[in-house]
Chain A
């Protein structure tokens, strides 16, 4: 009887191991399929034209005819302009809030309130952020509620909580003795915060900023509400501007062959950019932590 039970437990344990092994196969197969599809189909349009030309005439190839391939140059330009606006707003705002929470508010209730607010904001759906910016700008000035500026503002809302949270965590890791040493040397508080604590926390801060950048760059939902994409590159901050994820959405839902292929190209472009950002942030993190340890 006793032997039986031990055997049963062992068999159960082994079958759970097999099941968890199957789980990882089950999750990696569809994820690999997504990346594979994007790499193969998207890779086929990766050439000079893809990065320099604009949207092609819609076309599905008839026998004997070829379609113009075109590219996503205006969308790349638009995406980066809106990301620039978003970064200019969210990076100082998020870092400022985090410094305030950690350097001035340790153990005080509103320091926790900032963390809580950032957590809650991080959970706000991107499309609701878009609706919020639209509603806000419509009150203020309806003519700019659908523009590159509005798009940048909406993307900044996606970035702010990520920057705040990661900066906060990075600042908290800096030991208090560092602050005390700086203050004991007569260095003023703000210089201590910026030149010593923030610098020590820089790898973490940078990783957070890159993470936020990657998240906002690929987001189409917020932009759908406040910018809508459009066909053209940058024509002014109060004008609609094209964006990569929006074009991907437009192309994906179109019946035209060359547009669908271009959508895969846009998808591969986004994947590679996110990949590059995360590799860069990891390298920065590694190198800077090594440098700091090595003195």
Chain B
């Protein structure tokens, strides 16, 4: 925005000079803020990389593919935790995405007018409830239900798939995924509801005039139009699930091994950090933990960037998108 004023108002020279200096100082100050935000991101990677040097030098790439974490034996591998993180977050999305989209569709397309706004606002509010509350509820209320009611049933009827082996004790990968999905649902629902509500009426009317049923209107007119909002919501939900610490730590059982079934106790990168950061067995465990944090940072960066790339592609492909 360049706005040269061809008719400068009469002003004393001193005032003009003051304004000029004011502008300069202001530019520098806001520029510092901008540099701070970008610098923070660079500093993140740099500091973690620097403090993880001892293990990076000693172990090299073996940290990324070793399947055992045994600090007293000097063996450090991030695989069990990376698997735990990706498995719980993936399962959580598998549960949360269909439910959230269904709810968003209901709230924007089918629900009676009077309930759309209030329910939408309540869901938005639930998205900002601190995660530790979901975790605590999971530990006290959900774990016994999973142990006594849900998991034995799953074992009996779906045991043959191999996913539900072992003794169901409630504190396991499955429960952690369920808690994560309950946490992610309000976020995904709220964002996709916003974008579905913003679909112009003309789009829907066009579909209706062609004889589409309610579902076909949603499937062919609403969802494609709102898809960038949906992707944004899912990315946001996935980001929160990947980085969630407290809720997971409380219910996953905290065992540093690769889960063999959904009833296995496991560990995510976040719960590893929460459990071990101040109870290090050996001096080398600290850099190993920091390197694990670096791995998690890279995973979440990748998710954010992939999400943005998908959004950019949608916008280029011409669908009116919402960002």
Contact = CB atoms under 8 A, between A and B. Distances in A.
A14 B109 CA distance: 13
Query: Which DSSP category, helix, strand, loop or mixed, fits chain A's interface?
Result: helix
Nearest to A116: B308
Given A34-B182, A190-B22, A278-B128, A26 B37 contact: no
Nearest to B96: A27
B136 A135 contact: no
A260 interface: yes
Contacts of A126: 243, 245
Interface string A133-175: 0111011000000000000000001001100100000000000
Sorting the interface of chain B by its residue count into under 10, 10 to 19, 20 to 34 or 35 or more gives 35 or more
A49 interface: no
A115 to B, nearest CB: 9
Nearest to A190: B26
Contacts of A118: 37
Given A23-B103, A93-B33, A93-B37, A124 B44 contact: yes
Contact of B126 (A9, A31, A224): A31
B32 A248 contact: no
Contact of B130 (A92, A114, A219, A278): A219
The B contact surface, by secondary structure, is helix
A275 B22 contact: no
A53 interface: no
Given A23-B98, A138-B51, A186-B11, A31 B213 contact: no
B296 A128 contact: yes
B38 A117 contact: yes
B293 interface: yes
Contacts of B195: none
B278 interface: yes
Given A101-B34, A106-B1, A34 B134 contact: yes
A225 B273 CA distance: 8
Contacts of A191: 19, 22
Given A116-B308, A127-B270, A131-B289, 20 more contacts: A13-B213, A16-B218, A19-B102, A24-B119, A30-B182, A100-B30, A104-B31, A120-B301, A120-B305, A138-B51, A139-B47, A179-B3, A180-B3, A190-B25, A221-B245, A224-B245, A252-B132, A264-B136, A267-B132, A274-B129
13 contacts: A12-B213, A13-B215, A17-B215, A26-B99, A97-B36, A125-B296, A125-B300, A184-B3, A186-B5, A188-B19, A248-B132, A270-B130, A274-B129
Interface of A: 9-10, 12-14, 16-17, 19-24, 26-28, 30-31, 33-35, 37-38, 92-101, 103-106, 110, 113-114, 116-128, 131-132, 134-136, 138-139, 157, 160-161, 164, 176, 179-180, 183-186, 188-191, 193-194, 211, 214-215, 217-221, 224-225, 228, 245, 248-249, 252-253, 260, 263-264, 267, 270-271, 274-275, 278
